């Protein structure tokens, strides 16, 4: 390409560069929660001693802080015990900069089912 043609195009400005720049800024702002809720797990614990009238269950309690815009945040919990895996989700509306407590119970867990481990993740 002729350098004079390239120089003329750069002087005119390229709408493609502007569009790409706006897209990149939008992605960064979205990631940092400017346009959507952004859940952060600030505390969690698993309790395998919770019972309901003699029935065993595994309870996961998590404190979620919304570092983004007010809105719905979903906590997804996965529980593994004795080769079995269960997954549950709970969605709550959380105001910006507030903390909400989520409790997810797994009645599928068994008293003598072996050691249990869990995973947690948040999504807007």
Please list the pLDDT of the chain residue by residue as tens digits (124 residues): 555 655 555 555 566 777 887 788 777 766 665 678 999 999 999 987 766 667 788 999 999 999 999 999 999 999 999 899 999 999 999 999 999 999 999 989 887 878 899 999 999 8
> Domains in the chain and their CATH numbers?
1-31 (no CATH), 39-123 (2.60.40.10)
Give CA–CA dist 6/10, Å, rounded: 6
Give CA–CA dist 42/59, Å, rounded: 17
Q: 73, 124 in Cβ contact below 8 A?
A: yes
CA distances 4 to 15, 61, 106, Å, are: 19, 65, 69
What SS3 class is residue 22? helix
Strand residue runs (E) in 1-124: 39-47, 51-52, 55-56, 58-66, 71-81, 84-94, 99-106, 116-123
Give the tens place of pLDDT for each residue, 67-94. 999 999 999 999 999 899 999 999 999 9
| Sign of the C-alpha dihedral computed for residues 109, 113, 116 and 118 taken in this order | negative
pTM exceeding 0.75: no
């Amino acid at each position: 390409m002729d350098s004079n043609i390239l120089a003329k195009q750069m002087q005119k400005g390229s709408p493609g560069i502007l569009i790409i720049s706006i897209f990149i800024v939008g992605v960064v702002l979205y990631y940092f929660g400017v346009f959507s809720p952004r859940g952060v797990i600030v505390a969690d614990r698993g309790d395998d001693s919770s019972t309901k009238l003699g029935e065993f269950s595994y309870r996961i309690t998590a404190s979620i802080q919304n570092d983004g815009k007010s809105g719905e945040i979903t906590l997804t919990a996965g529980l593994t015990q004795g080769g079995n895996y269960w997954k549950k989700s709970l969605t709550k509306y959380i105001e910006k900069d507030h903390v909400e407590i989520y409790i997810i119970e797994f009645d599928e867990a068994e008293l003598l089912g072996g050691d249990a481990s869990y995973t947690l993740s948040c999504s807007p």
